[in-house]
A and B are shown apart, each in its own frame.
Chain A
Amino acid sequence: DADVTQTPRNRITKTGKRIMLECSQTKGHDRMYWYRQDPGLGLRLIYYSFDVKDINKGEISDGYSVSRQAQAKFSLSLESAIPNQTALYFCATSDAGTREEKLFFGSGTQLSVL
């Protein structure tokens, strides 16, 4: 079983719809992240959470919200989806116990907003 699981793997939605992408992990890590990947732009950080009560905006948080329901679960919501939010979304975790934190990624959710 995957250590970082994202659902769904693919999602097609229409402009204006609210959608949620979910992430769960079995690694026991406190820190969780949401990134989006766009061709030619690499990965950009949307939100991150250092524990259940600690949520932080990343580089590109506008139009997104998150919820850390438990240590193992971190969901990303698009309140009103727009076409330029079409991208590949990744959830990741890291272990705060190491000095240089290694990221562990899920397999991604391909989101298309029509």
Chain B
Amino acid sequence: AQSVTQLGSHVSVSEGALVLLRCNYSSSVPPYLFWYVQYPNQGLQLLLKYTSAATLVKGINGFEAEFKKSETSFHLTKPSAHMSDAAEYFCAVSQQYSSASKIIFGSGTRLSIRP
């Protein structure tokens, strides 16, 4: 069985500060890992994904995530937060070579940016 745990339902950082959103996964087979972002009143959109090609994955809007197998983690980072980064972020896991119907989402982390 697969699962993801997002540590912290709400994270608040100052504009210009480092953003760190934590995600740990559990998977008995090599995983695909995703970060999705949900801006207010919108659906989710893919931020980045890990598919075993490289452990450091770069996404849109300056975000990146590093796959660490030894720590079963896939934390999302951004060096300098912008006000426009305020949104809810979801970590997700699926099995390699499976369909999107097998994607398991975490409970989400709401990111707030202080001026």
Q: Please report A residues at the B interface, Cβ cutoff 8 Å.
A: 4, 31, 33, 40-45, 48, 50, 56, 58, 90, 92, 94, 96, 99-108
Contacts and interface: CB of A to CB of B under 8 A. Distances in A.
Contacts of A43: 44, 90, 105
21 contacts: A4-B43, A31-B99, A33-B100, A40-B9, A42-B90, A42-B105, A42-B107, A42-B108, A43-B90, A48-B101, A58-B101, A90-B43, A90-B44, A94-B100, A100-B51, A100-B96, A102-B46, A103-B100, A105-B45, A106-B43, A108-B43
A29 to B, nearest CB: 10
B13 interface: no
Contact of A102 (B9, B42, B49, B90): B49
A28 B90 CA distance: 26
Contacts of A41: 107
Contacts of A45: 101
Contact of A100 (B32, B105, B108): B32
B106 A105 contact: no
Contacts of A56: 101
Interface of B: 9, 32, 36, 41-46, 49, 51, 90, 94, 96-97, 99-101, 103, 105-108
B100 A102 contact: yes
A101 B107 CA distance: 21
Contacts of B108: 40, 42
Given A100-B49, A100-B51, A42 B99 contact: no
A31, A100, A105 interface centre (most CB from chain B within 10 Å): A100
A82 B97 CA distance: 37
B100 A101 contact: yes
A106 B44 CA distance: 8
Contact of A107 (B43, B90, B107): B43
